[in-house]
């Protein structure tokens, strides 16, 4: 997944102060220096949360006893799909990556972000929290300690075509960025097309694709509003992030440091989720020129609100196409865990 960096104004408008992480200071922690590989450094999740958390917040809250250095994985020449393997091997002590990067390694990594599963940030968070214990157990076997799961903003449809409902995707060519979103588009009767993020603008402009899926604010930052006419305001997926540590490394940290870090990472993750929901709405507002947009440049796209029929169609495709196809490629244990957590919560049943 590739995205352009938001403008300084855009980033600053979404930036939450480091003070929002503030909890009580913890005295008497042993001197500890950490090395962290963060998410994509040109995105707000890294710029506004990860980087200040590791470089400022934990230092302030530990009275300077716990310090860290951090770089986005892209700054280190990494692509993303290798990060969890490097964490498991101990090459990376603590790191962040998109779970979708590891879908080809094991379909369990798709479980919380299947297309259509979570049409709102609230549901996405509930689904993620429900399945978190499964990931903790799964990754512990790979010498990885799961520290938390956060998210990017909602991934939505930008179309240079007249659409008024999901059914209008039939016959259209749609740029997708994952297997599950491709299956979603195909279930609607559309054609899934794989195109790098940076090539989407000319593709929309020249009719290579009719629509493309990305975060609402990412599309804004890349000026998709200049080559698109309709924005469909229903998240298809979210692209959740996994924050993890090498288990052997983690177990060697002082228990007081472990507790200090985990409590504060939980706070950081809460703020990332809150910001993702707000950034999704900010994208709707600014791509369509709504008065609520606080940025100087406003698009003129038409915002298409999902109807109740669209929401029902989304549920139907998820239950009858997306989940069964995913279950066919995941293990029996994986499917069982899905049914006991996400499935139970959403009233879905996956079968092998």
- Res 7 pLDDT > 70: no
Which of 208, 216, 201, 90 has its CA nearest to residue 145? 90
In the predicted model, what is the mean pLDDT of the chain? 92
- Res 234 pLDDT > 50: yes
Confidence band, pLDDT 50/70/90 cuts, at residue 141: very high
Q: Is 28 left (phi over 0), alpha (psi -120 to 50) or beta?
A: left
* Alpha carbon separation from 154 to 47, 94, 223, 337 (Å, rounded): 18, 26, 17, 25
Within 10 A of 327 (CB to CB), how many other CB atoms are there?
22
Give the pLDDT score at 44: 84
Confidence band, pLDDT 50/70/90 cuts, at residue 282: very high
Give the pLDDT score at 1: 38
Confidence band, pLDDT 50/70/90 cuts, at residue 177: confident
17 versus 43: which is more confidently predicted?
A: 43
To 5 degrees, how large is the angle CA 134–CA 139–CA 144? 140
Give me the torsion for CA of 323, 123, 111, 216, rounded to 10°: 90
Query: In percent, how much of the chain has pLDDT > 90?
Result: 87
- Res 10 pLDDT > 50: no
- Res 17 pLDDT > 60: no
**Is the entire prediction scored with pTM above 0.75?**
yes
pLDDT digits (tens, 9 = 90+) for 195-206: 988 899 999 999
Q: Where are the alpha helices (DSSP H) in 169-306?
A: 179-187, 200-205, 216-221, 247-252, 255-288
- Res 251 pLDDT > 80: yes
d(CA 16, CA 108): 32
Give the pLDDT score at 2: 36
**What is the pLDDT averaged over residues 151-174?**
96
pLDDT digits (tens, 9 = 90+) for 57-112: 999 999 999 999 999 999 999 989 999 999 999 999 999 999 988 999 999 999 99
**What is the pLDDT averaged over residues 293-307?**
96
């Amino acid at each position: 997944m590739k995205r352009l960096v938001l403008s300084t104004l855009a980033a600053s408008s979404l930036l939450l102060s480091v003070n929002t992480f503030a909890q009580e200071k913890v005295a008497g922690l042993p001197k500890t220096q950490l090395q962290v590989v963060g998410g994509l450094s040109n995105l707000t999740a890294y710029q506004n949360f990860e980087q200040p958390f590791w470089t400022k917040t934990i230092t302030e809250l530990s009275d300077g006893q716990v310090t860290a250095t951090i770089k986005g994985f892209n700054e280190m020449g990494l692509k993303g799909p290798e990060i969890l393997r490097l964490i498991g091997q101990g090459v990376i002590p603590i790191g962040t990556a998109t779970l979708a990067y590891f879908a080809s390694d094991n379909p369990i990594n798709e479980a919380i972000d299947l297309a259509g599963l979570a049409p709102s940030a609230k549901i996405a968070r509930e689904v993620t929290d429900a399945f978190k214990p499964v990931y903790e157990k799964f990754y512990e076997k790979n010498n990885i300690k799961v520290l938390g799961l956060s998210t990017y903003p909602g991934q939505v449809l930008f179309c240079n075509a007249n659409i008024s409902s999901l059914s209008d995707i039939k016959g259209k060519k749609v740029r997708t960025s994952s297997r599950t979103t491709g299956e979603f588009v195909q279930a609607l009767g559309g054609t899934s097309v794989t195109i790098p993020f940076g090539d989407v603008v000319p593709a929309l402009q020249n009719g290579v694709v009719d629509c493309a899926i990305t975060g609402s604010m990412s599309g804004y930052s890349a000026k998709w509003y200049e080559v698109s006419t309709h924005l469909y305001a229903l998240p298809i997926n979210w692209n959740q992030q996994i924050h993890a540590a090498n288990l052997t490394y983690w177990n060697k940290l002082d228990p007081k440091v472990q507790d200090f870090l985990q409590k504060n990472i939980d706070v950081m993750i809460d703020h990332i989720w809150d910001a993702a929901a707000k950034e999704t709405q900010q994208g709707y507002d600014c791509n369509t020129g709504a008065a609520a947009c606080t940025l100087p440049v406003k698009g003129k796209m038409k915002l298409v609100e999902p109807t109740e029929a669209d929401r029902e169609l989304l549920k139907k495709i998820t239950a009858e196409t997306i989940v069964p196809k995913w279950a066919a490629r995941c293990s029996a244990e994986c499917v069982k865990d899905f049914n006991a957590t996400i499935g139970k919560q959403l009233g879905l049943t996956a079968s092998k």
